[in-house]
A and B are shown apart, each in its own frame.
Chain A
């Protein structure tokens, strides 16, 4: 098993449809200051933070090297700073590498995104597609997700009713999460009648445009007592990149997620996730992904996602009690949001949604259309 590193503190702003009155630098500052206060960490080059990891996206920020817009507010001037331009969950993997290599004792990991700034998040993801074969025909993450949804729903017996149930539950759970985007509560009928978006996905099946920022302080095991009395441990991390062209992939095989999960579980010594893990936070960009990723991380049987929902799998395995990505997080930051929720649960700070006796939790996130790249992180109390 691997060495572990500690999450000492987290901070976030509330997920909002639009922070019209606030620049993303201010949003980050609102996360930065609580972390300083909670932990007393300094920027001393020997004993404090000497390296900062940020996560943001050039296209959503409308500037290349988007981290350059925030280096001052995250304390990065005159220090090391590197940007994670892939899903934020991989920033945690990167922080683990920095600390476990012995180069750093303490890492401040901060991320931001104002999806509301861009005219269209779909146009942003169209730019993620290659300019020769995919971009000209209009491929974006949402129409690609729709293709995966059709194939997966067919394979796993997931119906419109199941999707409606997932959406209703997500919004209900999010109500207990003070940082969640405040969405109108809906019933299943409304979900099933919401306008078709990209068949078979309806508007309410897809996460809404969201602005958000967060900060996480991580440190090595030896020095954890300097910053917190109640650390949460990162004990396993794994990621996997599937093929680029969607026609090359088996869209509902969960190939990359299974690989990522197995790697993370092996590092954390998890033999059976159904028994060894008490809580799961899955990045469901669209409703169909919740049961699909549940199959991928090994808590639902392969091809049985629909039955798993009917059998109460979402409650049995404590999946997405935060509301999940579906309730609203910015693309790219869903993984950090999942890990932060796991931190709250494992440190007993989850308020109304606290699950008793959670010792181990799993956060998952995906980058790219139809979950091409997957990463899984195991966290322990």
Chain B
């Protein structure tokens, strides 16, 4: 077909041709996994070089920096990230996935070291900026290409708990402390920050129940840091050996304590004085006196502390948790003398009354900090009215927090937050999220507690605010 002729060359013609060759490519194992994970699971994976730590996206077989084979070292990266560079394509062309004008941006996903090129839309072109947070929108109709991420759009910017804390006025204790009378009316000071504690392990929760239970000091440090980032001001710690057994060995407990403090210097570490089953009174308190954490648990009553099948009532492990008046007195004194603030654990009203009796000796410093524990087999189950009765029985100036075993965790923290108290969550008490799925770590349960506080409009206490509220001296 003669389409076009040139003046002076009427005897010649120009032929219109086309290069078009359907083609099939083998995507390779690495490329296939990358794309099919996006396609089928809506997740973006990179590969991490164990030698240099680089997380590559798109993934590849070998790190070209140090020639390490990295093809199997997959890591999930976030589906949101930051625009590191962009251009606005203002020409139309057949190879382009969108009509001009549209934005092509280099996007560095969370957890990846190398940005990659993709489309940004669902916003005004003028609003696209370097540093902008964007999130992947996955394609509804998949094509097994990189366009199974259809595009990126501006991410809803959620400030972290710490960023939000910086934006508000810091809490300072007022001259007029909260009183029983005020509480009794159900009118607590909701502007008072709520302290979230993450109980990372306890003595009994094992990795086979939830793989995020930390055993080693490094694992404790990592888990505690995640909890701090999520909004916890304090972690409660029962140190473990590498095999998972609870330990009273001072060196191990110190290593665990120090690892947490090294990674998250701000965080308050609260050590257990119960440690685990079958420990002597000496083993339980000597580690506290040696290590002198900012806070430690103080148990208030000898009680059954057993493992019972909740559905059938069958006894798995029967155990008496010994906390005599002498122990309550000696442990309490030892803590106060060593500058360790006791967290007074009350498993029922009796424990609270025991404490009030011993407190007549006058060694407990104000404010006293109580933890109402619910759902231990041997203690009481959570009941809203019991909670209120206990709260009303507290001495003046006292603070209260709460924790509940298993599904008691969520109603009890919500009630506490509602009544002006504080909240403890974590794998020690409960391994699952409210929807029944395993929690990815104690930090995810901290996130739930943050959500509860937000619903009630209570700010999340920073570590220093928590110290001011509980009367701790930072070490």
- Interfacial residues, chain A to chain B (CB-CB below 8 A): 20-21, 59, 62, 119-120, 122-123, 126-127, 131-140, 143, 146-147, 150-151, 195-201, 243, 245-248, 251
Contact = CB atoms under 8 A, between A and B. Distances in A.
A245 B114 contact: yes
A276 B114 CA distance: 39
Nearest to B84: A247
A21 B8 contact: yes
4 closest Cβ pairs, A-B complex = A146-B87, A126-B95, A138-B96, A247-B115
B14 interface: yes
Interface string B116-143: 1111000000000000000000000000
B95 A123 contact: yes
A198 B93 CA distance: 13
B90 interface: yes
Interface in B80-97: 85-91, 93-97
Contacts of B316: none
Given A20-B14, A122-B95, A139 B87 contact: no
Nearest to B16: A119
A32 to B, nearest CB: 22
B-side interface mostly: loop
| Of listed A119, A126, A131, A247, residue having the most chain B CB within 10 A | A247
Given A123-B95, A140-B95, A251 B64 contact: no
Contact of B90 (A140, A150, A199): A199
A123 B93 contact: yes
Contacts, number: 105
A133 B88 contact: no
Contacts of A197: 90-91
A246 B106 contact: yes
A123 B104 contact: no
Contacts of A137: 97, 104, 117-119, 146-147
B302 interface: no
Nearest to B85: A147
A133 B12 CA distance: 43
| Of listed B8, B23, B57, residue having the most chain A CB within 10 A | B57
Interface in B49-88: 56-58, 64, 85-88
A21 B12 CA distance: 9
Contacts of B97: 136-138
A151 B31 contact: no
Given A122-B93, A136-B146, A137-B119, A151 B88 contact: no
B167 interface: no
B19 A147 contact: no
A136 to B, nearest CB: 5
Given A20-B6, A122-B93, A198-B88, 15 more contacts: A20-B14, A123-B94, A131-B25, A132-B145, A136-B97, A137-B97, A137-B117, A138-B89, A138-B97, A139-B117, A147-B106, A151-B85, A195-B90, A198-B91, A248-B56
